[in-house]
Amino acid sequence: MGKGKDSGTFCPLIKKDCVKEKCAWFMRVRGTNPNTGEPIDESGCAVVWMPYMAMDITQKTNQAGAAVESFRNEVANANRTNQQLFVNALNQGIVPTKVNVLNQGGI
């Protein structure tokens, strides 16, 4: 991860060497590095972890956007297919009808 993340380096928040586990911002992170895909199981300062978390959030957001776009394309294709089926039915003389509900009071 970051250079000196858990090696007693200078902390700009307290303006002295990192106090590691004594600090509320010192945390353990387990997961996958968003850049390399390698597993992570390390302790370090939350401030140092922020850029990595931001990259992971960006990656997940991009994946979600791609999934939404894919779903939208599938819906648009299905809609075009349904429209074509309707046009073909009209061309064959099949006329859509209106169905009236007999029991409007509920089930």
Q: pLDDT per residue over 22-66, tens digit each?
A: 999 999 999 888 778 899 899 999 998 898 889 889 989 999 999
Structure confidence at residue 107 as a pLDDT band (50, 70, 90) = low
Kindly report the pTM of this predicted structure.
0.58
Q: How far is 18 from 6, CA to CA, in rounded Å?
A: 8
Provide the 3-class DSSP secondary structure of residue 20.
helix
Report domain extents, the chain. Answer: 10-91
Residue 8's pLDDT is 57
Neighbours of 1 (CB within 10 A): 16
Dihedral in degrees, nearest 10, Cα atoms 64, 69, 74, 79: 130
Structure confidence at residue 5 as a pLDDT band (50, 70, 90) = very low
